[in-house]
Amino acid sequence: MGVPLISSPPFLTLFLFSFMMLCLSPQHALASITRHYKFDIKLQNVTRLCQTKSIVTVNGQFPGPRIVAREGDQLLIKVINHVQNNISIHWHGIRQLRTGWADGPAYVTQCPIQTGHSYVYNFTIVGQRGTLWWHAHISWLRSTVYGPLIILPKLGVPYPFTKPYKAVPIIFGEWWNADPEAVISQALQTGGGPNVSDAYTLNGLPGPLYNCSAKDAFKLKVEAGKTYLLRLINAALNDELFFSIANHTLQVVEADAVYVKPFETHTILIAPGQTTNVLLKTKPSFPNATFFLTARPYVTGLGTFDNSTVAGILEYEFPPNTKTLKMKKLPLFKPDLPALNDTSFATKFNDKLRSLNNAPFPANVPQKVDKHFFFTVGLGTNPCSQHNQTCQGPNGTMFAASINNISFAMPNTALLQSHFSGQSNGVYTPDFPTNPIIPFNYTGAPPNDTMVSNGTKLVVLPFNTSVELVMQDTSILGAESHPLHLHGFNFFVVGQGFGNFDRNKDPAKFNLVDPVERNTVGVPSGGWVAIRFLADNPGVWFMHCHLEIHTSWGLKMAWVVLDGKLPNQKLLPPPADLPKC
């Protein structure tokens, strides 16, 4: 016999109905969660190009583990250092709203994690979704310490493009047979350029175009008639790369974890630090072939570079109920990549990138500018560190790099700690020049004096300052492209061009409607790029060239954004386990 139903009073029925609706409401269903990760920094023997060596890794993996979260999630990532090197980890592209203590660049937002010590990076992903990545941010350790950071949209929120059948991260790297720490150490001691890498890699593998690497190839296995989302990440230290898949078209849908107006291309240009999501629509039926996916550098400078090509293989799954063929018998198609110095292609590709700028994903470009900055970027020289010594840089000097002729000198304590404690005296000065101290013909005949000055100077901005920054390449030691990365912010690329920036004419051509929104942008070789951003994130934020050798030579600086007046506009206090110097 069943239990008799008892009628409920109207107010109780209403309460139960409201409670059920609350439990089923989107806000409840989309509640964020806390995700825990553990990173053990340890040595691992790895064999590439027929040579085995010990490398610094996370959890013994190369590349490192994949981090997956959803927009709105909190991440707690405990990093434990078991190696002799100091370590710090940067979560590249995460805005770190008020949580600059978790940003990661050594001696900027934290002192490095020393041997036997640990630190918990604690941050929440606010208003971001897409493909980012993480990497070591001290010396050249990011040559082996890196991995994907994938942010999924909130549950129930669709992509603004075709839903992919599968998503595949593809991370480009650079491999040295020697110890990269020894490579950069030697370069800084001699003042010359560093030895170039021995190979490029796809997901850690060099592929069949290198000696002794036929079996060390990344294979992308696909089914016919499906759409795949390829999450491309350039983790190479010193090279922008062209990437293509033979006989296939790619549709670009995202750059630096921001959706873009989709466009089709056969080749992608991706600079170190940048990420690009593309849709790969496979052929409708089994093609009776395999296809190379290859990458090689886009080169603009005069120095030596690794001109090799990394290759992976696109393989189609055999259709069911067919006699299995041997892959060796299938023809292999190779893509045609642009010439190594094809600046025309690079320019046209970058011009195609545009923000979606629709209701769900607006392009909030600052229309009014509070502060204008003009930064020259490029190479220069320093005198030899010891008298009567000849260095291997130009005319017996040491290579240096600078912004507005200041080669940034890293302090011995973290800039953010100095700022937060109000003890910046002796650590940095707040007088970074807003314009070049001595104007010259930046892309014309180089000046006779190539020496740079050295110092730890920062720009200080009041909270919510709208900034326009023009970055101008210089030809002092030869024009060269520079991928500049700004920590703590996304910015809008409102204009770019070649030659010297003209303050009277060029701003009239700025795109203030749907410019691409990025965290890393290439300053064109022999040209300039203009960006705008809103300084709405209090803290100290690093900006540097993502060509690691240029950062090592001093092409870097930092911005201080002061606290706002409201509680939610102030930098949070430092965590108790913040590493000490």
Contact between 286 and 318 under an 8 Å Cβ cutoff? The reply is yes
List the Cα angle 355/360/365 in 5-degree steps. 45
Order of strands across the sheet that contains 482-486: 458-461, 556-561, 539-545, 482-486, 520-523
Return d(Cα 359, Cα 259) in angstroms, integer: 13
Dihedral over alpha carbons 67, 70, 72, 76 (to 10 degrees): -20
Alpha helices for 124-163 (secondary structure H): none
The residues, any chain, with a CB within 8 Å of residue 524's CB and separated by 6 or more, are 343, 346, 347, 473, 481, 496, 497, 498
Q: What are the beta bridge partners of residue 446?
A: none
| pLDDT for the residue 386 | 75
Q: Helix or strand or coil: residue 25?
A: coil
HSE-up (13 A, CA, CB side) for residue 512: 11
Helices vs. strands in the chain: H and E counts, helices first: 6, 33
| pLDDT for the residue 387 | 73
Q: Scanning the structure block, which residue is given the tokens 């994130």?
A: 537
Q: What is the pLDDT along the chain (581 residues), one digit of tens a residue?
A: 333 333 334 333 333 333 333 344 344 445 789 999 999 999 999 999 999 999 999 999 999 999 999 999 999 999 999 999 999 999 999 999 999 999 999 999 999 999 999 999 999 999 999 999 999 999 999 999 999 999 999 999 999 999 999 999 999 999 999 999 999 999 999 999 999 999 999 999 999 999 999 999 999 999 999 999 999 999 999 999 999 999 999 999 999 999 999 999 999 999 999 999 999 999 999 999 999 999 999 999 888 999 999 999 999 999 876 665 565 689 999 999 999 999 999 999 999 999 999 999 999 999 999 999 999 999 999 999 877 788 999 999 999 999 999 999 999 999 999 999 999 999 999 999 999 999 999 999 988 899 999 999 999 999 999 999 999 999 999 999 999 999 999 999 999 999 999 999 999 999 999 999 999 999 999 999 999 999 999 999 999 999 999 999 999 999 999 999 999 999 999 999 999 98
| pLDDT for the residue 11 | 37
What is the per-residue DSSP string for 403-469? Answer: ETTEEEPP-SS-HHHHHHHT--TTT-BS---SS-SS---TTSSPPS--B-EEE-BEEEE-TTEEEEE
| Residue ranges per structural domain of the chain | 32-157, 161-355, 371-569
The residues, any chain, with a CB within 8 Å of residue 236's CB and separated by 6 or more, are 172, 173, 174, 197, 200, 272
Pick the CATH number of 161-355 from 3.40.50.1980, 3.40.50.620, 2.60.40.420, 1.10.10.10: 2.60.40.420
Contact between 131 and 279 under an 8 Å Cβ cutoff? The reply is no
For the chain, the distance separating the N- and C-terminal CA atoms, rounded to the nearest angstrom, is 75
Phi, psi torsion values for 180, nearest 5 degrees: -60, -30
Look up residue 415 and give its DSSP letter: H
Chain centre to alpha carbon of residue 296 = 18
Query: Which stretch of DSSP H or E encloses residue 78?
Result: strand 74-81
| pLDDT for the residue 381 | 97
Pick the CATH number of 32-157 from 3.40.50.300, 3.40.50.150, 2.60.40.420, 3.30.70.1280: 2.60.40.420
The CATH code that applies to domain 371-569 is 2.60.40.420
Contact between 571 and 94 under an 8 Å Cβ cutoff? The reply is no
Which value, in Å, is the radius of gyration of the alpha carbons in the chain?
25
E strand map for 246-385: 250-255, 258-265, 267-270, 275-281, 290-298, 310-316, 332-333, 371-382
| pLDDT for the residue 323 | 60
Contact between 113 and 29 under an 8 Å Cβ cutoff? The reply is no
- Cα distances from 358 to residues 296, 408, 473, 479, 514, in angstroms, run 35, 40, 33, 37, 9
Instruction: Residue 213: count other Cβ atoms within 10 Å of its Cβ.
Output: 19
Q: Is the peptide bond before 26 cis (omega within 30 degrees of 0)?
A: no
Contact between 444 and 499 under an 8 Å Cβ cutoff? The reply is no
What is the per-residue DSSP string for 216-230? Answer: S--EEEE-TT-EEEE
Joined tokens for residue 304? 């030596």
Alpha-carbon torsion 346, 514, 253, 30, what sign? positive
Look up residue 147 and give its DSSP letter: E
Alpha helices for 258-383 (secondary structure H): 343-352
